[in-house]
Amino acid sequence: MSEQYNVTGMSCAACSARVERVVKKIPGVTSCAVSLLTNSMTVEGSASSDSIIAAVEKAGYGASLKVPDAPQVSHSQEEEALADHETPILKRRLISSLLFLAALMYFSMGHMIGLPLPEFFVNNHIAQGLAQMILAGIIMIINQKFFVSGFSSLLHAGPNMDTLVAMGSFASFSWSVYVLFMMTREHAGLFSTHDFYFESAGMILTLITVGKMLEAKSKGRTTDALKSLMKLAPKTATIFNGREISVPVEQVTKGMIFIVKPGENIPVDGVITEGTTAVNESALTGESIPVDKAQGDSVSAGTLNQSGYIRCRATRVGHDTTLSQIIKMVSDAAATKAPVAKIADKVCGIFVPSVIIIAVCVVTGWLIAGKSFGDALSYGIAVLVISCPCALGLATPVAVMVGNGVGAKNGILFKTAVSLEETGKIKIAALDKTGTITSGEPKVTDIFTAGDYLEEDLVKLAYSLESKSEHPLAKAVVSYAKEKGINFQEVRNFQALPGNGLTATLNDGSTLTGGSVKFIGEKYSFSERFTREAERFSEAGKTPLMFVRDDELVGIIAVADTIKPDSKEAVKELQSMGIRVVMLTGDNERTAKTIAKEAGVDDVIAGVLPDGKESVIRELQKGGKTAMVGDGINDAPALTRADIGIAIGAGTDIAIDAADVVLMKSSLSDVSSAVRLSRATLRNIRENLFWAFIYNVIGIPLAAGLWGLKLDPMFGAAAMSLSSFCVVTNALRLNLFDVHGGRR
């Protein structure tokens, strides 16, 4: 059983690592992933939600169970939950802090740059110290959240980044207060205003607040894609119940008739019962060209009705709509963790305690080396405030969130962070034929007439006969005739004959018969020329349909499942990316090889039954990480077995449920786009992790003075405040990435 929770009170990666560690210790919990970015937690196992919430609260944080599938929860509520509430608060804190910090810096350093002090403070060091203490104290009160969170987590044996900030600021303030009191004694000459660190106490808090605000603002932008999807959902719908009534979209139920006028967004998923239109589905698929829709066609919530007035019957409402499912996929993926994040998680779990120990060792070491306590303390404070676990903790989740958002905008949905990372590592792509490489709908490819019959005559007669049949090949003939504007004539005595044949009587009394070459060949005789032509069609992977009027051959219509327009280019792209492409199909080998040759696929495995596909995938995996791309129910076992299952969006719900990645546009070209985006995201994560690690590896020794330099704690705080911002900003660069590689 998997459940999601909201977690409050986390301020850095050390917090999320502690929550994760605490929950994993609960009996019955098999796995736990905590996201600092979305303040959420996913727990799998049999443990009760009450025990999980109690454990989180005991660790010093808050938790509540999410109910994502609660009926009629509006997207506006979810959008509000994702809104950036943190930045405005931090902004107010920062402005207040800056005002008092300016006054503090005036009293502590103004005289050094020639600014005159009021007469009362001139040479009155104790008065200067009192003024600085009061101003620094006010700044500390304004930023009390650091102290509340920091010392609370310390008491719960789970120190976080706020602990480091609080300890650094508090140590500066406490030492300065001690110096101030010592200056009131007879031996006041032992200390001077240069020994005050009040400005460091205030500056550390202010600079960290700057960084926190920049970080919060940038983190808010990582969820832009998710929020833009939520905004697509209309707030109201116009239902028809004898008259038009506007109601909140939450009140629309399955089976209701709703109306969509030109320029309006479609409120829920449905089927058109009346009218024609063009629908812009770019919000869901990334495809900007409008799709023509008519009676019987399906429409999806969040798409834009561009031209016609339509009436529809609701088929999916609330959290069952396609838009809601996409939002859920993107949101769920953000709550999971990529394998590459495990390194950072391990480091974050011990990072803060290690930094505190290092800071104590630095102070002790400098005291032994003969430095004054004030100088030694300065080194220790610098170590505390330059260290940044947040950069490590945010390196992976921000890139995953942005990468998922970019994918969603382009109709590529990764269900988990794992699938986003692993897709870029595939070495073999196994492609189903029907519906993946081909359109899955047979079409007329060739027409060969006999005697004096014209092409139009043959099509008209075939249309008249096949219009009575429900066979997929019959539908191909009917569809072709309609495209050509050819009318049919009514027939009598229609009959489907055993052995793939049809027969009917025309208006003039003649008998029209149609069917496979084998069926017609057993009943009628015709020249060698037509036999050769039929064989040529068969060798090309096409199905020849012969039509006879009385005993006279009218002609042959060849029907085939044609490849999609972009399949050849898609296969070529995958091959150029170093991926071996294999076509997997249940069709006969001759047809399979014909399609494979046309699509540019080198390896073909034909005649494979559904359970056999799963075995083939198992065998292919011996050669490297394997992806299975399919769209049908029979592909579900193979999609599940593959390292990465990729479902074509127009396929069955079962295939989509079994897959790790869903391609909403049903375009094979998006397989290479998904691989390209995965590789870019993983590259971005590695850049972030490198920056976060190298920042701390260089920053901590520098602050400790190991290279003969003394870093003022204020500069350490400035560096810390910018580290997380740099990581988040680097992740946001993914928004500029072209998943199509220049192809459109």
- Convert the pLDDT of each residue in 121-144 to its tens digit: 888 888 988 999 999 999 999 999
Place of tokens 């139009």: 456
Q: Which one, of 12, 7, 10, lies nearest residue 721 by Cα?
A: 12
pLDDT at 404: 85
Whether residues 545 and 636 fall in one domain: no
How many Cβ atoms from other residues are within 10 Å of residue 141's Cβ? 11
Write a three-state SS string for 604-629: EECCCCHHHHHHHHHHHHHHCCEEEE
Residue with tokens 């540019």: 600
361 and 402 co-located in one domain: yes
- Overall domain count for the chain: 5
The encoded tokens of residue 722 equal 């910018």
Please say whether the dihedral angle defined by the alpha carbons of residues 486, 487, 489 and 495, taken in this order, is positive or negative.
positive
- In tens, the pLDDT along 295-328 reads 999 898 888 898 889 999 999 888 788 777 777 7
pLDDT, position 722: 77
Amino acid at 51: S
Q: How far apart are CA 18 and CA 56, in angstroms?
A: 9
Cα(354)–Cα(358) distance, integer angstroms? 6
Flag whether 292 is in a domain: yes
Q: How confident is the model at residue 50 (pLDDT cuts 50, 70, 90)?
A: very high
Catalytic residue among 195, 269, 432, 643: 432
Give the residue from 46, 67, 88 where a domain finishes.
67
Helices (H), strands (E): how many in the chain? 26, 26
CATH number at residue 451: 3.40.1110.10
SS (H, E, C) 478-490: HHHHHHHCCCCCC
The predicted pLDDT at position 219 comes to: 66
Question: Phi and psi dihedrals of 545, rounded to 5?
Answer: -110, 120
Answer whether residue 194 is part of any domain. no
Tell me the CATH number at 263. Answer: 2.70.150.10
3-state secondary structure 366-395: HHHCCCCHHHHHHHHHHHHHHCCHHHHHHH
Annotated catalytic residue 432 = yes
Distance of CA 691 to the CA centre of its chain: 23
Task: Read off the CATH number of the domain in which 26 is found.
Answer: 3.30.70.100
DSSP assignment of 193-233, as one string? Answer: GGG--HHHHHHHHHHHHHHHHHHHHHHHHHTHHHHHHHHHS
- pLDDT of residue 78 exceeding 70, the answer is no
pLDDT at residue 714 greater than cutoff 60: yes
Q: How far is CA 361 from the centre of its chain?
A: 44
Domain co-membership, 569 together with 717? no
Token digits of residue 128? 């200067």
Report yes or no on 354 lying in a domain: yes
Residues 501 and 518 in one domain: yes
Q: 528 vs 54, 513, 532, 545, CA distance in Å?
A: 84, 20, 6, 16
Considering only 179-188, 422-431, 488-497, 610-619, which range has the smallest mean pLDDT?
179-188
User: 628-642: per-residue pLDDT in tens?
Assistant: 998 766 677 888 889
- Which residues sit opposite 448 in a β-bridge? 556
Residue 670 lies inside a defined structural domain of this protein: no
What is the model's pLDDT at position 633?
66
3-state secondary structure 529-570: HHHHHHHHHHHCCCEEEEEEECCEEEEEEEEECCECCCHHHH
Among 417-431, 573-587, 606-620, name the one with the lowest average pLDDT.
606-620
Same domain, 548 and 570: no
Q: Are residues 569 and 554 in the same domain?
A: no
Asked if residue 370 and residue 419 are part of one domain, the reply reads no
- Sheet with 543-549: list strands edge to edge: 443-449, 552-560, 543-549, 511-516, 501-505, 492-497
Collapsed DSSP state (helix, strand, coil) of residue 339: coil
CATH code for the domain in which residue 634 is found: 3.40.50.1000
> pLDDT band at 424, cuts 50/70/90?
very high
For residues 388 and 417, membership in a common domain is answered with: no
365 exposed, middle or buried (CB, 10 Å; 0-12, 13-18, 19+)? middle
**What are residue 584's DSSP bridge partners?**
432, 605
- Looking at residue 266, the DSSP 8-state letter turns out to be P
DSSP-assigned letter for residue 189: G
pLDDT at 360: 93
Establish if 26 belongs to a structural domain.
Answer: yes
> Does residue 716 or residue 181 have the better pLDDT?
181
Between CA 327 and CA 661, with CA 71 as vertex, the angle to 5 degrees is: 25
Q: In what order do the strands lie in the sheet with 580-584?
A: 412-414, 661-663, 644-648, 626-630, 428-432, 580-584, 603-605
Q: Which pLDDT band holds residue 71 (cuts at 50, 70, 90)?
A: very low
State the chain's mean pLDDT as an integer: 84
CA–CA separation, 179 vs 356, rounded Å?
24
Check whether residue 534 and residue 468 sit in a common domain: yes
Q: Using 50, 70 and 90 to split pLDDT, how confident is the model at 653?
A: low
Q: 567 and 541: one domain?
A: no
Residue 313 lies in a domain: yes
What pTM value is reported for the model? 0.74
**What's the pLDDT at 632?**
67
Same domain, 458 and 555: yes
What pLDDT does residue 594 have? 84
With CA atoms as reference, report the closest residue to 544 among 525, 519, 510, 512.
519
- Digit-coded pLDDT (tens) for 662-705: 888 888 899 999 999 999 999 998 898 888 888 888 888 988 98
**Between these two residues, 357 and 1, which has the higher pLDDT value?**
357
Residue ending a domain, among 510, 528, 560, is: 560
- Domain membership of residue 740 (yes or no) is no
- Residue 106: its H or E element: helix 86-109
Are residues 374 and 422 part of one domain?
Answer: no
- Residue 174 belongs to some domain of the structure: no
Task: Give whole-number Cα distances, 384 to 34, 178, 379, 705, in Å.
Answer: 25, 20, 9, 13
Please compute the mean of the pLDDT values over residues 186-191 and round it to a whole number.
59
Mean pLDDT of 594-609: 86
* Residue whose C-alpha is closest to residue 678's, from 324, 297, 367, 413: 413
Distance CA 101, CA 108 (A): 10
Greater confidence (81 vs 526) lies with 526
pLDDT at 186: 55
Q: Cα–Cα distance between 351 and 339 in angstroms, integer?
A: 19
Q: Which domain holds residue 310?
A: 231-328
pLDDT of residue 72: 44
- CB atoms < 10 A from the CB of 525, how many? 8
Question: Of 49, 67, 85, which closes a domain?
Answer: 67
